[in-house]
Each structure stands twice: as C-alpha cells, then as structure tokens.
Amino acid sequence: MILPPDLTLVLASKSPRRSYLLEQAGIPFTIRTAEVEEVYPPDTPVLDVAPYLARLKADGARHLLQSDQEVLLTADSVVILNEEIFGKPRDRQHAIETIGRLSGQRHTVVTGCCLLSRHKQIVFSGTAQVYMHTITPREIETYVDRYQPFDKAGAYAIQEWIGLAKIRRIEGTYPTIMGLPVDLVYERLLTF
C-alpha cells in the first residue's frame, strides 16, 4: 500500500494473525520481537487495558529500532464481558470455562496498538462488539480440543469454527477482532 517512502514498519509480535492481516493489506513489514511481561495495574479501566499493554510492549521492544526511519508496531487484544477481561486461557479447562461464559452473550473486543519510533509514540485502539450464538458444552470441548485456542484472548478465534458457525453479528471491523485494527494502523502510518 501507499506508505511514506522513508518509513519502515517493524512488527514486534509473534502473532501469525497480525502478520497475515498486514500481508493481506499489502503493508510491508519485518518482524523483530522482544519478551515483555504483560501486566497491567489492577485499577486500569477495562477499555484501557489493551492500549496500555500495547504501549508496554512497545517500550519493552524500543531497543529493536535500528534507524530513524523505522516504526515499531505492537498490539494487544482483550475480550471483555460485563467489565471482566478474558485474556489468553491458562489451560484446556480455563478455555472451556471462558467460552462457556461467552456463549450466547454479546462481548467486546478491544485491540490496542502502539506505533513507536525514536522520536514519536502514538497509542490507539479499535473496538468491536461480538454477538455469539449459544454453544453447547460438547461443541465447546470439541472446539478447544481441535483448535487449541490457548494463545487467543477469549479462548477463540473469529477466523475459526466459532467465528464461522457461532457468531451471529459483529459491530466493528473483523480485523480488530482478529487482532489488529488494520484500518486504524494504516491511517496512523500515513500521518506518522
């Protein structure tokens, strides 16, 4: 896509979904990652957690910037139901419980992003509402055993069976739910 010619995007994420979304949007990038502990203050408002974690990841990966032309992109997604955050499940049982809680409910997905260069930092987020059909206990167990959604906020992926068969409606963008609000990233990169 059309980006400023002197800008090189560095994705600081191991997420194959974020790489896929950038590739599909035609946004060139390279990948460099750093390990950052994803911890936020307990009094953080739920809608602010994902952007807070995106900024935290960017600060922890700042050393990966190799020139003034590089812009680091970090992101984090959370699923919110009734003011409670559902991150990545700890194990199979936790995944089953999480999906069981989301079943038949409307929940919010917030994907926070941070763009960071040696001279500038901006933090923003995309928000989407997901309306889920009821999922039976047997369907939940089958999904968890087949797809192993242990690296996904809310224990499911919109691009897998749950997204295809058990989401009745979304408000917001599909990429935001998948893990990167590409429309917002692109707009911010154009003016970065």
User: Given this model, what pLDDT does residue 102 score?
Assistant: 98
Q: Tell me, what's the pLDDT at 1?
A: 64
Mean pLDDT by 10 residues, the chain (192 residues): 84 95 96 93 96 98 96 97 94 97 98 97 98 98 97 94 96 97 96 90
From the number of C-beta atoms within 10 Å of its C-beta (0-12, 13-18, 19+), residue 171 rates as exposed
Q: Are 152 and 98 in contact (CB under 8 A)?
A: no
Place of tokens 């500038």: 120
Report the pLDDT value the prediction gives residue 3, as an integer from 0 to 100: 77
**Residue 2 confidence (pLDDT):** 76
CB atoms within 10 A of CB 122: 15
CA–CA dist 114, 131 (Å, integer): 27
- Domain annotation for the chain: domains and CATH numbers: 8-191 (3.90.950.10)
Answer yes or no: 151 catalytic.
Answer: no
Q: Which of 6, 68, 76, 151 is catalytic?
A: 76
* Interatomic CA distance for residues 130 and 163, integer angstroms: 10
